[in-house]
Structure 1
Amino acid sequence: MKTRLTPRSDKNTPFRQWTGPLTEEIVLRPAEFGLGQLPNPQQPDATTESVCGYCATGCSLKVHLKDSEAFNLSADANYPVNLGMACPKGWESLAPLKATDRATTPLLRDASGKLNPITWEEAMLEMITRFKSIKQRHGGRALSWLSTGQIPSEEMAFLGALCKFGMGMIHGDGNTRQCMATAVAAYKESFGFDAPPYTYQDFEESDVLVFVGSNLCITHPIMWQRVMRNRRNPEIIVLDPRRTETAMAATKHLPLRPKSDLALLYCFARLLVENDWLDNDFIQAHTEGFSELKEFLLNGPYDLATVAELSGLDQGAIFEVARMIGSGKRVSLWWTMGVNQSYEGTRVAQAIINLALLTGNIGKPGTGANSITGQCNAMGSRLFSNSTNLLGGHKFTLAKDRSKIAGILGIEEDCIPQEDSWAYDEILEGVERGEIKGLWIIATNTAHSWINQNRWNKLREQLDFMVVQDMYHTSETAQMADLVLPAAGWGEKEGTFINSERRIGRTRKVSRAPGQALADFHIFQLVAHYWGCGELFNRWNSPEAVFKILTEVSKGQPCDISGIKDYAMIESEGGIQWPLPEGTEAFDTQRRLFADGQFFYPSGRAKLIFEAPRKLPEATDVEYPFTLLTGRGSSSQWHTQTRTGKSDVLRKLYPAKSYIEINPKDAERLGIESESKVVISSRRGEITASAHLTPITPVGSIFAPMHYREVNQLTHSSFDPQSRQPNYKACAVQVCKA
């Protein structure tokens, strides 16, 4: 008997039956998808390993089980990433699973605006009715999804395939756009593929380590510990406006003015050229565009005197760093969000890449132009989410790629869109224009994390129906949803993550999901069934089955993992870095790319790419004289704190309420005392926070940790044109006593 539903004309009216056709002959019960199933170790009291679900370091944790349930954990001493170490978030990673505000049943908003519990069947019928009604009235482009870098690759792939191949959506993106899109764009243009070249062993084997816009001590503590294991007595150079914890520990800190980084990097390159601190053989054999870059550098305003004045740095300090980069020793260059979250971040990243190419510092131990990834599975999102590119780094716009993927998946080629998806900001602009009416948000907290928050609050009202799928019903985004779907979190489901060094690691189910919460994987199965496209995904019956599909789609790509047989192989090898093509007999635990000097363009050469710096989208002026800098507050905080905020231990390690850091000289001039309340205003909003006086932050700037929701009421809606990544790091504000 067919299930029949009635579409609602108003999103607040109660659920009714559908009168149009649905293809479903049966109702699939959530119990069929493992609702409430226990972990299944060989013994109820045992220890198993699972890769951590916070950042992209990819540490392995030993999870200790009692009566088949996780009760404690310790660091895995044998895993090649963390070598027995863990950061505060890792030690406390079980705490968020026991939070009292977990979403345990689907919730539907009623006419009064209240979210009420409903059954999974009602939730699925409601979601499918509303989305199909929107599609029928406005077309497939009126539906979109926003996902995450926090769920396993298998779930990401399932979601992207379901939305595009099954439900007919065109546009979807992930919050990886907020952290890694710039690095992706830079690598693709420079190397021909999104390919971080390094392995963590390079932290320990460099003679010179250059960190640009990276506070590694705080953002990736285990990586910093790898730096501290370096026995080569390395020079550690930090380029950052703030005297961060990493800068304090460095041998040299260049406190450049905010957003003068691109000109400074071009100055380094010019000094390399002028002093012939180059690897000319490497340049000639393995790059293209050197003569054009040389002309650009020598004829532009990148001379030492000009850049020293622009950046506020000493000429001698700039010269000395350039000399170290061109020393002929092992030099590695590293960057994170200080580069990526910028209006011209792609060109800054490529200026870093150029320095590595000009000096031949790539493909060898202790070298590389190395982006440090943010989220635990941002690399999995980049390769397999089916949003920014077709599965496995293929292209939606190439007929041969569509044909290959369709053949592997056993679907019709015309199921695959022939155009690229809009980026995150373009999707939200589509909502603002009224072109997108239905939005599905999975495992991300847009209402907190998106730039220029007040703009998001207004465009939310343009949506006819918004579904939020999350661990918690209390997140800022879930509280704005029409329908909340309760999802399992890390430790409650199976899959794989890909870390910063391209290592694929196993994450395990070690605890029950509470109530009726389901793994995202099983929610996607339910949606596929109720939508009527379940047959497309008959092979997608378990995370490991999907992983094997991903090994097939990757074959022949730079990220080829066709040589990975199964999950057991990943576990036995201590994680496996891509690539690993089929037929690989032996491989090292630590592998880097480009050892042969061959890049991913048909010519085999890397491209030296450059562009003149652009002006700040919003510079300071008399009315708004301070530059607002944002970033990680402490190693115990994570993103919007939906998880770290659930740990009693972690909450004791950072301030409960928002604060800013301001230089004592600025504070004295404004009459601001330590820990007093201040008002920070931009052209978009106004917030109140405590003032922490510290010389860490330079005169003329303030710093605000990104973890407090208020901060993104201030940030400016500007984006890198190549990567579409938001410019979180610099906008104009004013500060005064509250």
Structure 2
Amino acid sequence: MVGDIILARDGHLTRQLLLEPAKFGLGKTRQSESPDATTTSVCGFCSTGCGLEIHLKEGRSVNLTPSTDWPVNLGMACPKGWEALNVLQSSDRATRPLRRGASGELEPTSWDEALHYFCQQMKGVQSRHGNDAVAFLSTGQIATEEMAFLGSLAKFGMGMQHGDGNTRQCMATAATAYKESFGFDAPPFSYADFEESDTLIFVGSNICIAHPILWERVLRNRHQPEIIAIDPRLTETAQAATSHLKIQPKSDLTLLYAVANYLIQKDWIDREFIAAHTNDFEPFAQHVQSYTIERAMELTGLSEQAIVELAEKIHRGQRVSFWWTMGVNQSHEGVRTAQAIINLALMTGNIGRPGTGANSITGQCNAMGSRLFSNTTNLLGGHSFTNEADRQKVAGILEIPIERIPTENSWAYDQIIEGIRQEKIKGLWVIATNPAHSWIHQNDLQEIFQKLDFLVVQDMYSNTETAQLADLVLPAAAWGEKEGTFINSERRYGLHKKVSPAPGEALADFQIFRAVADYWGCGEMFSKWTEPERVFETMQQLSEGQPCDISGIAGYAELDDRRGVQWPCATGETDRSVERRLFETGRFYHADEKAKFIFEDSRRPGETADDEFPFVLLTGRGAAAQWHTQTRTAKSSVLRKLYPNVLQVDLHPADAKALGIAPHELIHVESRRGIVQAHANLTAAVGRGQVFMPMHWDTVNQLTFAEFDPYSRQPSYKNAAVRLRRRQDV
């Protein structure tokens, strides 16, 4: 039973977990005094941040419905949201700590033994190889308060130098682009802009599938907008758009530069805005002169008419919004492509006004929380590890010696993996993510993990591909079983609540971090963090004076009452609008308050199709009912009915005919790194010489090519060379 778990507090063994739950960070159920009532909680799947009404009976959740007054979803929910409670009931849940025994199998152990073992092994690695030999890989799926706790514990308490999150796989490009262009990682938009724009341009974004509720917001637009999809595939979004530019893979940077050049030549730009609010436009204008319509036609495969019409639609639009997701971010030159989008918005004055903006739609429910508070890519609250004043501020707020704060940035995710390969990192703590499935070039990663002395996986399921490799598995509570905040794509903090007990001996990540701190011997450093809301108060202090200032929020109660609050919300701020956007005054976050035009020559990806491997493999989301590695969505019988039950590879009918491949035939898809079997799905949605596979199946990343954007270090999942072969030809 959970009540029998032994935890260390101030050097004394106690059994107070259930007797004093707040002391161990369980949080409170924020609901009506009646045990049969409803309470609103923000969803824990994607970054949309929908509000869900959780229906309670005898104090426990029994059902849910979408919240009609939540400003994000307005009474709507996608299939994942509807099933959010049901996936918690899976028999695959991790319910006890597991330690790999002498037999080589994972065997149940007590929390006391697990935590002693964790500290013994991690400290052993540090004593043999140095503090830098241990690292963590975190997530965009846990609460912001838990991220802050983990990052502080690992970096300040345990002495780790290196830690990163799986948001590196989805949002690092956007974060880097915003920082360089605006001076801070600041998505400028509000979801209201979907409804207020007269021209919406989606670049590498299948929003219909990836963010269905945001597509619903597009459908509420009463301006009869132009909807333009720029994508190699005829995705669901492209099918619904008013025009589709079926571009060749990884040629989007060339297209965007050519459009910019055309707009400049026609003088269809906002010179007043450019002069008052930006830097480096003239060098940018000179740079794009070589990106002619003819050059763009050759590389993109688009017609002159299509390229010119795109520029004309941008010019004619009064409120033009640009939107992008993984098709841009997961690229070998994603940062510069994102900045090419930002440049178009800046040069046409389409920013800071309703219905405008260069707008990155986030992936995971709390990727924005990870970007600001996980202590990975930056110091807590958007500060810098390399800035002494920032370190002094953070040390003062946390009441710790400044010497405990690293003075250098962490390695990025791929660099941590490479550090394991080179045996510089020997201990790894993986929290709420599944890299053995999701990391690029999967076979390579699984071999690399064998070099670790000690691997700990902390997850709500004990049967993930990564957990099966672990030396120690720590069972974690899930969304709905703990409390904290998420930050969605439009910068809105939403409160998620504890409405169900965690199964067996599973604990909230917050509790696990408190327990690790105590067993490690640094618990006193976090003695004030007795529950998530206390960490939120510290986050408010850390954010003060930053672009992401939330010092003016009156705690969890205001988040609940106001149905979420967008940052910034500083002390004394009087604007309490439900929907707000950034840069309305034209002031950005660089020291001179101007945005920067940033640019670079486009270049070919590291692997392209050739005679031996003649097809380009594209990967992405398969269906609205699927999510990432499917550790949760695969547990729902309802969701499983909404997508194919076998791995499919989409290919053009003409390519199938040339290879003699019949519809639904089981074929081999092979790259230089691996070979997988998939059923042929013949569709003109993909172009000739291209194939598409959904990322959710555990074998797909055996094929992907490990290439990384040089600035964001984000992997390029959407470009690998493969060949197709019938099984009898292998």
Q: What's the counterpart of residue 251 of structure 2?
A: 260
1:440-497 Cα deviation digits (max 9, x unpaired): 0000001100000011111111100100000011111111100000000000000000
Q: 2: distance between equivalents of 1:25 and 1:154?
A: 25
Q: 2: distance between equivalents of 1:729 and 1:343?
A: 9
Q: What's the counterpart of residue 403 of structure 2?
A: 414
1:357-396 Cα deviation digits (max 9, x unpaired): 0000000000000000000000000000011100000000
Alignment of 1:47-62 (within 5 A): 47-62=38-53
Aligned in 2, Cα 1:95/1:401: closer, same or farther, shift over 3 Å?
A: same
2:12 aligned to which of 20, 26, 34 = 26
Check whether the contact 1:217–1:224 (CA below 8 A) recurs between aligned residues: yes
Shift of 1:320: 0.6
Name the amino acid aligned to 1:675.
H
Shift of 1:111: 1.6
Aligned in 2, Cα 1:93/1:30: closer, same or farther, shift over 3 Å?
A: farther
TM-score w.r.t. length of structure 2: 0.97
Q: 2: distance between equivalents of 1:59 and 1:722?
A: 32
Q: What's the counterpart of residue 513 of structure 1?
A: 502
Q: Secondary structure at the match of 1:391?
A: coil
Q: 1: distance between equivalents of 2:707 and 2:293?
A: 30
1:341 aligned to which of 323, 327, 330 = 330
Q: 1: distance between equivalents of 2:149 and 2:695?
A: 30
1:722 aligns with 2:708: no
Q: What's the counterpart of residue 126 of structure 1?
A: 117
1:93 aligns with 2:84: yes
Q: 1: distance between equivalents of 2:336 and 2:14?
A: 50
Q: 2: distance between equivalents of 1:548 and 1:727?
A: 37
Check whether the contact 2:199–2:317 (CA below 8 A) recurs between aligned residues: no
Alignment of 1:72-471 (within 5 A): 72-298=63-289, 300=290, 302-471=291-460
1:601-653 Cα deviation digits (max 9, x unpaired): 01111000000011111011000000000000000000000000000000011
Name the amino acid aligned to 1:268.
V
Q: Secondary structure at the match of 2:94?
A: coil
Q: 2: distance between equivalents of 1:639 and 1:29?
A: 37
Shift of 1:113: 1.1
1:521-554 Cα deviation digits (max 9, x unpaired): 0000000000000000011111000001000000
Shift of 1:136: 1.0
Q: 2: distance between equivalents of 1:500 and 1:453?
A: 29
Name the amino acid aligned to 2:182.
F
Name the amino acid aligned to 2:72.
V
Check whether the contact 1:39–1:69 (CA below 8 A) recurs between aligned residues: no
1:543 aligns with 2:532: yes
1:279-330 Cα deviation digits (max 9, x unpaired): 01000000111110111111x2x11122112111110111011111122511
Check whether the contact 2:10–2:523 (CA below 8 A) recurs between aligned residues: no
Check whether the contact 2:441–2:704 (CA below 8 A) recurs between aligned residues: yes
Check whether the contact 2:27–2:498 (CA below 8 A) recurs between aligned residues: no
1:214-268 Cα deviation digits (max 9, x unpaired): 0000000000000000000000000000000000000010001001100000011
Shift of 1:39: 4.2
Q: Secondary structure at the match of 1:173?
A: strand
Alignment of 1:544-693 (within 5 A): 544-693=533-682
Name the amino acid aligned to 1:191.
F
Name the amino acid aligned to 1:173.
D
Q: 1: distance between equivalents of 2:588 and 2:28?
A: 46
Aligned in 2, Cα 1:570/1:732: closer, same or farther, shift over 3 Å?
A: same
Q: 2: distance between equivalents of 1:96 and 1:447?
A: 21
Alignment identity in percent? 59
Shift of 1:28: 4.7
Q: Secondary structure at the match of 1:31?
A: coil
Name the amino acid aligned to 2:633.
T
Q: What's the counterpart of residue 3 of structure 2?
A: none
Q: 2: distance between equivalents of 1:328 and 1:56?
A: 28
Stretches of structure 1 lacking an aligned partner (at least 5 in a row): 1-21
Q: Secondary structure at the match of 1:462?
A: coil
Q: Secondary structure at the match of 2:699?
A: helix
Check whether the contact 1:40–1:68 (CA below 8 A) recurs between aligned residues: no
Q: What's the counterpart of residue 5 of structure 2?
A: none
Runs of 4 or more above 6 Å deviation:
35-38
Aligned in 2, Cα 1:189/1:30: closer, same or farther, shift over 3 Å?
A: farther
Q: Secondary structure at the match of 2:381?
A: helix
Q: 2: distance between equivalents of 1:412 and 1:112?
A: 44
1:133-180 Cα deviation digits (max 9, x unpaired): 111111110010000000010000000000000000000000000000
Shift of 1:584: 1.2
Q: Secondary structure at the match of 2:56?
A: strand
Q: Secondary structure at the match of 1:435?
A: coil
Name the amino acid aligned to 1:162.
L
Check whether the contact 1:286–1:597 (CA below 8 A) recurs between aligned residues: yes
Q: 2: distance between equivalents of 1:451 and 1:379?
A: 22
Check whether the contact 2:27–2:482 (CA below 8 A) recurs between aligned residues: no
Q: 2: distance between equivalents of 1:44 and 1:571?
A: 18
Q: 1: distance between equivalents of 2:348 and 2:575?
A: 31
Check whether the contact 2:30–2:497 (CA below 8 A) recurs between aligned residues: no
> Considering only aligned residues, what root-mean-square deviation do their CA atoms show, in Å?
1.3
Name the amino acid aligned to 1:377.
N
Q: 1: distance between equivalents of 2:479 and 2:52?
A: 12
TM-score w.r.t. length of structure 1: 0.96
Name the amino acid aligned to 2:555.
D
Q: What's the counterpart of residue 686 of structure 2?
A: 697
1:557-603 Cα deviation digits (max 9, x unpaired): 00000001200011111110000110112321110000000000011
Q: 1: distance between equivalents of 2:177 and 2:82?
A: 34
Q: 1: distance between equivalents of 2:641 and 2:38?
A: 29
Q: 2: distance between equivalents of 1:414 and 1:254?
A: 53
Name the amino acid aligned to 1:105.
R
Q: 2: distance between equivalents of 1:641 and 1:157?
A: 26
Check whether the contact 1:24–1:530 (CA below 8 A) recurs between aligned residues: no
Name the amino acid aligned to 2:592.
S
Q: Secondary structure at the match of 2:429?
A: strand
Name the amino acid aligned to 2:46.
C
Q: 2: distance between equivalents of 1:627 and 1:674?
A: 20
Name the amino acid aligned to 2:460.
M
Q: 2: distance between equivalents of 1:339 and 1:607?
A: 20
Aligned in 2, Cα 1:285/1:292: closer, same or farther, shift over 3 Å?
A: same
